[in-house]
Amino acid sequence: MQTGKLNGKVALVTGASSGIGEATALVLAAEGARVVITARRMQRLNDLAERIRQSGGEAIAIEADVTNEEQISGVVRRVLQDLGQIDMLLCVAGVGVAAPFENTVTAEYRSMIDVNFLGLLYPIHAALPSMKERGAGHIVIVSSGTGRYIHPSVVYSGTKHAASAMAESLRREIGRDGVRVTCIEPGAVKTEFVSHMRADVRQSVEQRLGDMVQLESEDVANAILYAVTQPPRVNVNILTLYPTQQA
Ligand SMILES: NC(=O)c1ccc[n+]([C@@H]2O[C@H](COP(=O)([O-])OP(=O)(O)OC[C@H]3O[C@@H](n4cnc5c(N)ncnc54)[C@H](OP(=O)(O)O)[C@@H]3O)[C@@H](O)[C@H]2O)c1
């Protein structure tokens, strides 16, 4: 049941064109937030924005690559100019190639570092001054279970450990300014994430996952909703959620 808990709030979601980001945009919009959705695949974003509007919500789609500082800080500037504030910044965009390190090519590990780490820092750095000035705001970072526990994948795990460490360090730095930071650490989620890996890696990951029942994107989106709807005095620091069957 929707209760309008986020009426009047503005949420900026990176990685909103599929999976967890898409589900998060839908869940936040259903609770009344005005959602700004961003990623590179504009058609997907336009379709999602249309779905949100048809269900009575508000959505604005903006194309941006999170590894391009100018583009993503341009999105932040535009949202502040047009909507006046960013109450929630949801950093969901991410990529992963779960291959052994010696079988990972430079372009793959550069891409993981660029998207999973720099792609967090750029939008946060751009949005933070306005949140501190208002004394309110919430930054949600989607890391991974592999950012806390070691799963096989050297670079992906490294970037997600960096994301989780950064989230907690940032929380300690800006909590006194009234800005909250939440780190979300899911285990395996059924999205198109694995389909973006190269064929040999994809096959080995699919083999490892087998017939395990994975989380749905909505499960993670609902965890995010829980964190962002707590009273301002409550900072949900870390939420780790795994499929029941995942070791
Ligand atoms: N699926 C899992 O098992 C799992 C588990 C734990 C954590 N996670 C994390 O959850 C997050 C979302 O993943 P997902 O499972 O929902 O996968 P997904 O469906 O593949 O979504 C990834 C999103 O990231 C965006 N993205 C990738 N590169 C980008 C770039 N350079 N600039 C802007 N956006 C970019 C994609 O949009 P475009 O391609 O349109 O740009 C897409 O919207 C990631 O951070 C991932 O590491 C996933």
Task: Give dist(CA 107, CA 239) in Å, integer.
Answer: 31
- 165 part of a folded domain: yes
State the chain's mean pLDDT as an integer: 96
147 CB near ligand 1 (under 6 Å): no
- Nearest atom of ligand 1 to the alpha carbon of 156: 47
pLDDT digits (tens, 9 = 90+) for 108-128: 999 999 999 999 999 999 999
Rounded (5°) CA angle 24-131-184: 35
Residues 6+ apart with CB under 8 A from 33: 6, 7, 9, 10, 11, 57, 87, 88
| 183 against 208, higher pLDDT | 183
The pLDDT of residue 197 is above 70: yes
Contact 210, 13 (CB under 8 A): no
pLDDT digits (tens, 9 = 90+) for 77-109: 999 999 999 999 999 999 999 888 998 999 999
Q: Which pLDDT score, from 0 to 100, does residue 199 have?
A: 92
- The residue to mutate among 12, 14, 20, having the most atoms of ligand 1 within 8 angstroms of its beta carbon, is 20
Q: What CATH number corresponds to the domain at position 229?
A: 3.40.50.720
Looking at ligand 1, which residue's alpha carbon is closest to its atom 32? 65
Task: Give dist(CA 5, CA 3) in Å, integer.
Answer: 5
- Nearest atom of ligand 1 to the alpha carbon of 163: 45
Q: Which pLDDT score, from 0 to 100, does residue 100 have?
A: 87
Find the domain containing 86 and state its range: 10-241
Average pLDDT over residues 176-181: 98
The pLDDT of residue 242 is above 80: yes
Q: Which pLDDT score, from 0 to 100, does residue 1 have?
A: 55
40 CB near ligand 1 (under 6 Å): yes
- Is residue 156 flagged as an active site residue? yes
Rounded distance from Cα 37 to ligand 1 centre (Å)? 13
Q: Say which amino acid occupies 185.
A: E
- 246 part of a folded domain: no
Residues 6+ apart with CB under 8 A from 78: 62
pLDDT digits (tens, 9 = 90+) for 37-68: 999 999 999 999 999 999 999 999 999 999 99
pLDDT digits (tens, 9 = 90+) for 199-208: 999 999 999 9
Q: What is the dihedral of CA 206, 16, 124, 184, to 10 degrees?
A: -50
- 155 part of a folded domain: yes
**Pick the catalytic residue: 149, 156, 226, 242?**
156
Q: What is the dihedral of CA 191, 193, 194, 198, to 10 degrees?
A: 150
- The residue to mutate among 193, 196, 239, having the most atoms of ligand 1 within 8 angstroms of its beta carbon, is 193
Contact 189, 147 (CB under 8 A): no
66 CB near ligand 1 (under 6 Å): yes
- 3 part of a folded domain: no
- 113 part of a folded domain: yes
- 247 part of a folded domain: no
Task: Give dist(CA 223, CA 186) in Å, integer.
Answer: 10
- 198 part of a folded domain: yes
How large a percentage of the chain has pLDDT more than 70? 99
Return the closest-CA partner of residue 88 out of 224, 231, 234. Answer: 224
Contact 125, 165 (CB under 8 A): no
Rounded distance from Cα 212 to ligand 1 centre (Å)? 21
Three-class secondary structure of residue 247 per DSSP:
coil
112 CB near ligand 1 (under 6 Å): no
Q: Which pLDDT score, from 0 to 100, does residue 99 have?
A: 86
Q: Which pLDDT score, from 0 to 100, does residue 152 have?
A: 79
**Number of structural domains found in the chain:** 1
Average pLDDT over residues 137-144: 98
Q: What is the DSSP string of 36-83?
A: EEEES-HHHHHHHHHHHHHTT-EEEEEE--TT-HHHHHHHHHHHHHHH
Task: Give dist(CA 50, CA 76) in Å, integer.
Answer: 21
- 2 part of a folded domain: no
Average pLDDT over residues 132-156: 95
